[in-house]
Amino acid sequence: MKDLTLTTLIAVFEEIFGTALFWAMVAAAALVTLAYVVVLIRDRHVSWRKFLYAQLSMPVGAVVAVWFVMSMTNSSLASLGGPLDVIILLAIALAGAIGAAVLVYTAQSLMQPPSKTSE
């Protein structure tokens, strides 16, 4: 594999997760991102209380992301072979943490919209 292209990455992810699961995850990520943008535009400010709860969910998201990828690849932490494996594991954990925070903040904002009395 000489060149790392987007199509190569998509093929690798489809091989790891399966075509249906991979595209379902892409669609879910796009839907949550769109909902997050809608919430930010609608509210016109960040609720710091909701932001704190979202940050508290980040460790859970990191652990779930690492567990999910490890279970899909039939790997374990003992399978880590070198520094690149650790860097990729940390990137997976970071992506899971950020995804969990965005998901929790968006869900809270959709369930509890801001009150009109503050305007």
Q: What is the distance between the alpha carbons of residues 90 and 95, in angstroms, rounded to a whole number?
A: 9
pLDDT tens readout for residues 64-96: 999 999 998 888 888 888 888 899 999 999 999
Mean pLDDT of the chain: 90
Helices vs strands, H then E, count in the chain: 5, 0
- For the chain, the structural domain boundaries read 6-114
3-class DSSP assignment, residue 46: coil
Identify the burial level of 33 via C-beta atoms within 10 angstroms of its C-beta, where 0-12 means exposed, 13-18 middle and 19 or more buried. Answer: middle
Residues 3-58 pLDDT 10s: 889 999 899 899 988 999 999 999 999 999 999 999 999 988 888 899 999 999 99
pLDDT at 1 > cutoff 90: no
